[in-house]
Every structure is written in structure tokens, then in C-alpha cells.
Amino acid sequence: MPESLQKLSRELEDLLVARNLRGMRQLQLALKPGYLLRSARLIQDNPGTVLIGTGFPVTHTFETDGPVGAIALYQGLSAIGCKPVLVCGEPLYSALVGQYDCLRIRDNELEQAPRQTRELLDEYRPSLIISIERPGLSAQGRYFNMRGEDITERCACFDYFVTDSDLPSIGIGDGGNEIGMGKVFNALQALSIIPSRTACDELVVADVSNWAAYGILAMLGKLRGEDLLADIQPLAILEYLSALGSVDGVTRENTLTEDSLCFSAGQALLEQIRAISNGVNVQP
């Protein structure tokens, strides 16, 4: 593994948790460095259909954090010849299905979820599973938001796509209650949250989950010798989602923000990632 790639991965990993909004900088210490690069390699080595689970229910709609990054991944993976599919419950599914290839998972059917998951895996035959800001089952077998509220009745189950298959998986989160966080379950006990027990192969943490997608795409671009972030426009994606009824996960308001941060924060970070990545020359 080229040292320059490993160094770049670690630099971007640190950048993604620099604000430390919800303790992700401390949680990062429980992860083996280089997880952005390893996640990019999983994508590179597993072309084909990629299922991207996203959508965290807030009140009776969906939050901006998660879908923005999922759409960025969808665009980036489509550009390299993969077949991404966005997997979500309602109302996000109906909001996105008109423009993207989407798969609906059902709410309130935890008992049937393993069987339904197997049927969908057999139908789609994916090569890779990605979860970005998707609620993960707790030790109690329920879903909880950042406020400790039980949201199980409004939350479709994506966990079994990760746990009940032998497919490689990437989990992305920013708080501790998302799919994938079970990989560092012991470290989560220091956070003020009801954590997820669902683990994954590679966990990527960030101050805002959307931003982790940019880090993964940057590393994937370096592996391929192309800039996969050049055409990603966070503001345009936020405006698209806002028109469909999204809300900020923290404020619960329909604004062009991610976890209470102005869209400009994500845009600035994306440009910073591009600048850092484009300044690194990788020798073949």
C-alpha cells in the first residue's frame, strides 16, 4: 500500500472529526487508521450493484444528514460504472424514487425483516453494502435517536443487510446510534447515547455523516486517478431534499443545514478535501 495513500487517508480522517461535535474524535481512537482508504478499496474491489442504506427518521419526515452523502456516493459510484441503489423507508423512498434507483424497506416489521432482507439480497445480488446515517439496532433490539427517544415504529430495518450476509460492508456515522457503530461498541459507552450494536467491516466516523462520503470518494478517486468530487454539489442536493420536505436532524427545521451547520460548512470541507487530495501525487 503506497505510503502516500495511507498518509492521505489519515489526514482526511482527522479532518472529518476536527470539529468533534459529538465525540467522534475520541471514538476515532478505537479504529485502526486508514479506514477511508480501506473503504475505498472495498468499493474498488467489489464492482457491481451497491446497496446504499440511508434515511434517519425525524418527526414524520427525514433528516438532511445521510441522504446528501448517499446521493453523493450514488453519483460517484455511477461515474465509475457501479450500479448503486438507494435503500430507504418512507417517506424518503417516495421522495427519491422519481430520480434515483431506489429500494423500499418496510417500517414496523422487525420480525419479518430477516426474511425480507434475504429475499431482497437474492433479488438484487449486490457486491457491497454501504450504510450512511442509518439507525442501528441497540442491545434492546430497538432504535433510538440522539435524544434517547424510541423511534422503532417509524424506522425501517436495514441492519440485516449487513449482519445476515457475507458481503463486505461500510458503515458511516457521526453519533454512535448508526449501523456500523457496533464495531467499536465498547468505546461507545463513553458517549451520552443509546448505542447501536450493529457492526460492519469498515466504519467511517465524521462530524457530519454526509462529509464521510466525500472522504471515501476522495480516496476512491486517488485509487483510480480521477477527481470523483469535481461534480458533487452539496448545496444543490440540499436544495433538492429541502423541496421534498427534509429537516435538519438537530433543529428539526426545513433549512439548508446539516446537523445545525450551514450548508457552507460542508461545501468548504469538500473543497478542503479536494485541495488536500489533489496535492498528493501517488506513484504507481
d(CA 222, CA 88): 29
d(CA 51, CA 49): 7
Q: For 224-266, write each residue's pLDDT tens digit.
A: 999 999 999 999 999 999 999 999 999 999 999 999 999 999 9
Question: Residue 204 has what pLDDT?
Answer: 98
Answer whether 70's CB lies under 8 Å from 121's CB: no
Contacts of 120 (CB under 8 A, 6+ apart): 103, 105, 161
φ, ψ for residue 122 (rounded to 5)?
-65, -35
pLDDT over 80 (residue 107): no
d(CA 22, CA 201): 22
All structural domains of the chain with their residue ranges? 3-278
Q: For 124-142, write each residue's pLDDT tens digit.
A: 999 999 999 999 999 999 9
DSSP H helical ranges for the chain? 3-16, 24-28, 35-45, 67-79, 92-96, 113-124, 159-163, 185-188, 209-224, 234-243, 263-278
Answer whether 277's CB lies under 8 Å from 16's CB: no
Q: Quote the cell numbers at residue 19.
A: 470539529
Single pTM value for the model: 0.96
Question: Residue 106 has what pLDDT?
Answer: 85
d(CA 219, CA 37): 6
Answer whether 228's CB lies under 8 Å from 76's CB: yes
pLDDT over 50 (residue 76): yes
Question: Residue 281 has what pLDDT?
Answer: 58
Fold of 3-278: inorganic pyrophosphatase (n-terminal core) (3.90.1640)
